[in-house]
Structure 1
């Protein structure tokens, strides 16, 4: 049997148990899983309240993972270390939180030599979102100044480093906790600003962000929205861009028309769902290469697969590994 995390009741944490050994179908690979992160999307899908609908149970969660190919097809040979994606919780089928998994070849990306599988799993699609929101959607150019909101989260932590790797001239990180701000400085931010841990005024927060940035910025990466996004718009230069890729703080923001019009600002939305397989492949490869080179990391915890029920709702990014 296949050791696995199993969702038996939507809304309840998965429990460790045995699942049927997976058998790859046409165009699929069999992968020995070495690391599987618990992500917000996994929890949302398993809750039964996502727009994907209530999943059929029992099922193995895990929308992404890292492993070694045991049975390959096409260009990917057995023994190749890979990152892979699944549609677990979004469509019928099982995911990555088990000792062996299957994935379609187009959803599998070979990893470079020296890439730490647990770190790559922790980075995963969160780092892809940061990379593509900065470069593809945000159009970051060398020398531009970047403000990263929500720098305490995985997306924000990755964005600070990825902006620097893309040639940003100055990177400012904004986060709620002092620990997150200190970490952002260690990860390469030039300056930090405090985000409110509760109600705040847009004008007051804009003043604090402006002081930290020193001068108008070219691009804001925003995974939080709310008051922070409205305040960040006020520190953009004329023609500056804000890319939103989440709503960790609020689903709405008090954005005023005058700020938008007076500076001809651009607001764009981003989701990984827009990416082609080729774009995701290139982004994962870049993320893994930077991680292998010691230029990209995030804070995460590691736990055995058998403890999935205990760590399912942990605040920190947790990566499950075979016991």
Structure 2
């Protein structure tokens, strides 16, 4: 089969031939139609993540959309979303014509949302939804700040906060003002602007670093900052006096901590709102044959949205 194959840690994968996957007990074969290139793919492929160096060669891709070809759990021909552990554990991922997937990681799709759009939203939408509902326990009428509002998680979080009843949603961005506004933000601020006297009940933070330091100082009484990543650094500084005086909370979140049922329910909810346009993530499609160029663009940040490989 055709696939994006990584031969050297830290280098982009190349387009070429790769052995077809073989399903073991409890696994299904999915014919992939769309798979995004996400930061986790690049991190795992670099060989520097805390998961360790993946065995080479392998096919990256931690998520995708496709049609079941072979399965004892789901009828062939069924459209599904799926997650993989490519780069985090032995085995290949979604950036190929076919992928082998544990039956428990298949999510049956019943949506009119196009495959490429589902792939663009994917686990970013799951993370945004679960960070707001499960970790932050967002209540209707609360004020939400989304850091990295121009990124995929940020855009999904903006839309999700609105449909969950947030009173006001403010996005902090580095440069992607148009994306954050298109996602539904009431206001967009730059990373160096600050928040004035504004206070937020919930902060969704995929970036950490200096932005998290500033956002923590803007937490309201009982405020919760949920960190989902460290795109801007692995360290932030928090004031003990602010956290104690406001009984504020700093919380962590990872998709790896939720159950398959939670993942399915979150993605289903997000796609229901994506179908109406309430939750959206900007994306562009690229061909599998152009994977090396797409990989370079993702690593350098020269994209107009999430890159989705269509196969």
Judge conservation of contact 1:116–1:292 (CA < 8 Å) in 2: no
Moved over 4 A (4+): none
Q: Does 1:225 align with 2:208?
A: yes
Separation (CA, whole Å) in 1 of partners of 2:72 and 2:266: 22
Structure 2: give runs of 5+ residues left out of the alignment.
none
- Secondary structure of the 1:312 match is helix
Cα deviation for residue 78 of structure 1 reads: 1.1
Give the distance between the partners of 2:8 and 2:183, measured in 1 at CA.
Answer: 40
Q: For residues 82-124 of structure 1, what are the alpha-carbon distances to aligned partners after superposition, in whole Å with 9 as ceiling and x for unaligned?
A: 1001111111111111111110110000112302110111111
Per-residue deviation at 1:227? 2.1
| 1:12-51 correspondence to structure 2 within 5 Å | 12-51=11-50
User: What per-residue deviation string (whole Å, max 9, x for no partner) do you get for residues 53-72 of structure 1?
Assistant: 11111111111100011122
Deviation string, structure 1 residues 231-255 (Cα, Å, up to 9, x no partner): 2122222111111111111211122
SS at match of 2:75: coil
Aligned to 2:239: 256
Q: Which stretches in structure 1 are left out of the alignment for 5+ residues?
A: 197-204
Q: Is the 8 A contact 1:53 1:90 kept in 2?
A: yes
Q: Which residue of 1 aligns with 2:308?
A: 319
Deviation at 1:313, TM superposition (A): 2.5
- TM-score (normalised: structure 2): 0.94
SS in 1 for 2:222: strand
| Alignment partner, residue 297 of structure 1 | 280
Contact persistence 1:112–1:288 (CA under 8 A): no
What is the CA–CA distance in structure 1 between the aligned matches of 2:122 and 2:211, rounded to whole Å? 26
Q: Who wins on radius of gyration, i.e. which is larger?
A: 1
1:114 paired residue among 112, 115, 120: 112
2:275 is the alignment partner of 1:279: no
Q: What is the aligned partner in structure 2 of residue 210 from structure 1?
A: 196
1:69-148 correspondence to structure 2 within 5 Å: 69-74=68-73, 76-148=74-146
TM normalised by structure 1 equals 0.91
CA contact (8 A) 1:33 1:98 kept: yes
Q: For the residues of structure 2 that align with 1:56 and 1:230, how far apart are their CA atoms?
A: 37
- Deviates further, 225-234 or 167-176: 225-234
CA distance in 1, matches of 2:63, 2:181: 29
Alignment RMSD (CA, Å): 1.4
For residues 4-19 of structure 1, the aligned pairs below 5 Å read 4-19=3-18
Alignment: residue pair count: 305
Distance 1:147 1:55 in 2: 36
SS of the counterpart of 1:97? coil
